[in-house]
């Protein structure tokens, strides 16, 4: 039983040190399994270019609609979801996803 405890303690220590190394390195981000991969961008302001745009909870058309924005509404683009045509945006109190085809440069 002592050997099992010693191995478990060593494994826990190694995992903690690996996590600490990721946190200490500004060039490397810790891997996550529960968040969609995204490309961080500088906060860019864009505007809704169509009659309206839905802000959704997740980057897909089946996702819950959090808000509907009118044409000309400004949004802050936080990041772009790689491999898709969605932008993670913030506007007022809403934080969600909008299809990039519905946005244009401000």
Q: Which pLDDT score is estimated for 43?
A: 73
Q: What is the mean pLDDT of residues 80-90?
A: 93
Cα–Cα distance, 33 to 37 (Å, whole number):
9
Taking a C-beta distance cutoff of 8 angstroms, is the pair 50, 71 a contact?
yes
What is the per-residue pLDDT across 40-79, written as a single tens digit (0 to 9) for each?
555 799 999 999 999 999 999 999 999 999 999 999 999 9
Residues 2 and 43 in one domain: no
Find the CATH number of the domain harbouring 96: 2.30.30.40
Which letter does DSSP use for residue 33 in this model?
A: S
> Alpha helix locations (H) across 1-106?
2-24
Residues 11 and 59 in one domain: no
Q: What is the mean pLDDT of residues 10-22?
A: 40
Residues 27 and 62 in one domain: no
Q: Which domain holds residue 7?
A: 1-31
Residues 43 and 6 in one domain: no
- Structural domains in the chain (count): 2
């Amino acid at each position: 039983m002592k050997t099992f405890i010693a191995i478990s303690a060593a494994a826990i220590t190694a995992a903690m040190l690996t996590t600490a190394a990721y946190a200490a390195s500004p060039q490397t981000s810790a891997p996550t399994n529960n968040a969609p991969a995204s490309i961080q961008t500088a906060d860019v302001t864009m505007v809704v270019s169509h009659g309206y745009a839905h802000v959704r909870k997740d980057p897909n058309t089946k996702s819950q609609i959090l808000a509907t924005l009118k044409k000309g509404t400004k949004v802050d683009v936080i990041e772009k979801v790689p491999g898709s045509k969605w932008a993670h945006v913030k506007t007022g109190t809403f934080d969600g996803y909008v299809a990039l085809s519905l946005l244009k440069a401000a």
